Amino acid sequence: MISEKDLKIKVGVLKRSKKDVGFYEKEKAKQEAKIAAMRDDAKYDDHDIRKQQEVLAETQAMLPESYQRLEAIQQEVEMLLEQIPEGSEWPCIAEARELLHT
């Protein structure tokens, strides 16, 4: 039997996972733009550019793991939503459904 507290915790994890994926996507785009700008600017040497490429590689390495965590928690929340007793009107149910569809 699922409790409201269990669902609230999983909804919180789902929110955090979505934020993490969004953060890494933004960071990746930001690093790519920074590297492109550094290549165009003569004041940066190859060492500076390589260091920024390492930062980009670290960010890119985190993306697949973040997507896997997000997918796993989405499946878990979907499973929990199916187990909710009929007639339950927990506020976190609507939030969970909204997060799954965005």
Q: What is the pLDDT of residues 9-32, one digit of tens each?
A: 999 999 999 999 999 999 999 999
Place of tokens 């609507």: 94
In one-letter notation, the amino acid at residue 86 is E
Residue 1, pLDDT > 80, answer no
pLDDT at residue 13, as a whole number: 97
Cβ proximity of 74 and 97 under 8 Å: no
Cβ proximity of 63 and 28 under 8 Å: yes
Please tell me the pTM assigned to this model.
0.84
Cβ proximity of 9 and 93 under 8 Å: no
Q: Which domains are assigned to the chain? A: 4-101 (1.20.58.90)
Query: Helices then strands (H, E): number in the chain?
Result: 3, 0
Residue 2, pLDDT > 90, answer no
